[in-house]
């Protein structure tokens, strides 16, 4: 079975969204930017969440990590999101174009604090920056996180730290393989799930055990 192409990630840049139209077109899950650093909150997070949930969509939140204390950032993320058991949690681990980038130790501190506070490991979103820092090495702490790979090419190349990708952001709406657009959203970041729609729903519902599901 081909991967399920029914997840979209959004942020405050996506100002005009018709969640009902996107759901009707087959989009099942939304992962939305919630926070960045230790102070910033995405101004559209709350309103988009209410509309997506009303449309019957699965909901997730991500934090854009920066070069600062990982525990402080994790606390800011959790305080802002106040996640329930159905909220998928993710650390966006990539180079920061506006200032210092999060390093590996800060990423470890972030994901470990989220696990300690919630009982579940968050997903780890990463691409070139993550591969550059890891090289051919493995990281036993980050390996607890399910992998959300960012790579705009025809074939996903997985860092040696994970046996497989769980989600794959294959396009930003311009670069990468089609399809790029979503009804009700236009061009946007699109993501495949490494399984069927039924498996996606099981994975999302089993967030505390996400890594075990992703590694099966």
Average pLDDT of the chain to the nearest whole number = 93
* pLDDT above 70: residue 142: yes
User: Would you report the helix, strand and coil content of the chain in percent, each value rounded to 5?
Assistant: 35, 25, 40
pLDDT at 211: 41
* pLDDT above 80: residue 215: no
CA–CA distance, 77 with 36 (Å, rounded to integer): 8
Mean pLDDT of the region 137-157:
96
CA–CA distance, 50 with 158 (Å, rounded to integer): 34
Pairing relationship of beta strands 186-187 and 189-193 according to DSSP bridges: unpaired
CA–CA distance, 214 with 164 (Å, rounded to integer): 8
Mean pLDDT of the region 173-193:
96
Contact 111, 144 (CB under 8 A): yes
Percent of the chain whose predicted confidence (pLDDT) is above 70:
95
CA–CA distance, 22 with 39 (Å, rounded to integer): 31
Class in CATH terms, 4-215: alpha beta
What values do phi and psi take at 49, rounded to 5?
A: -60, -50
CA–CA distance, 19 with 53 (Å, rounded to integer): 9
The per-residue pLDDT for range 8-60, each reduced to its tens digit, is 999 999 999 999 999 999 999 999 999 999 999 999 999 999 999 999 999 99
Banded model confidence at residue 205, pLDDT cuts 50, 70, 90: confident
* pLDDT above 80: residue 210: no
Q: Which two tokens stand for residue 106?
A: 């800060």
pTM given for the model: 0.93
Residues pairing with 123 in the sheet = 90
Pairing relationship of beta strands 167-171 and 87-92 according to DSSP bridges: unpaired
C-alpha angle 90-91-96 in degrees, rounded to nearest 5: 140
Mean pLDDT of the region 158-166:
95
Per-residue CA distances from 147 to 125, 162, 183 (Å):
6, 7, 27
C-alpha angle 27-131-91 in degrees, rounded to nearest 5: 50
pLDDT at 150: 98
Q: Return the domain boundaries, the chain.
A: 4-215
The per-residue pLDDT for range 13-25, each reduced to its tens digit, is 999 999 999 999 9
The per-residue pLDDT for range 50-94, each reduced to its tens digit, is 999 999 999 999 999 999 999 999 999 999 999 998 999 999 999
* 134 Cβ neighbours under 8 A, 6+ residues apart: 159, 160, 161
What H or E segment, with its residue span, contains residue 35? strand 29-36
Question: Residues 8-36, buried b or exposed e (16+ Cβ, 10 A)?
Answer: bbbbeebeebbbbebbeeebbbbbbbbbb
């Amino acid at each position: 079975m081909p991967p399920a192409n029914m997840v979209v990630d959004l942020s405050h840049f996506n100002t005009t969204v018709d969640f009902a139209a996107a759901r009707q077109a087959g989009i099942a899950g939304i992962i939305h930017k919630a926070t960045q650093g230790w102070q910033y909150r995405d101004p559209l997070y709350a309103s988009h969440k209410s509309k997506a949930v009303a449309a019957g969509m699965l909901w997730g939140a991500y934090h854009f990590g920066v070069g600062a204390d990982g525990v402080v950032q994790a606390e800011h993320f959790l305080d802002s999101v106040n996640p329930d058991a159905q909220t998928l949690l993710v650390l966006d681990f990539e180079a920061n174009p506006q200032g210092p980038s999060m390093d590996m130790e800060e990423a470890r501190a972030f994901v470990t604090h989220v696990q300690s506070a919630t009982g579940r490991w968050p997903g780890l979103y990463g691409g070139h920056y993550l591969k550059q820092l890891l090289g051919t090495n493995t990281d036993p702490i980050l390996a607890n996180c399910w992998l959300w790979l960012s790579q705009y090419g025809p074939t996903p190349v997985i860092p040696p730290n994970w046996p497989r990708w769980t989600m794959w952001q294959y396009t930003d709406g311009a670069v990468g393989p089609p399809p790029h657009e979503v009804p009700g959203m236009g061009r946007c970041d699109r993501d495949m799930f490494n399984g069927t729609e039924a498996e996606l729903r099981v994975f999302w519902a089993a967030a505390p055990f996400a890594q075990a599901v992703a590694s099966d």
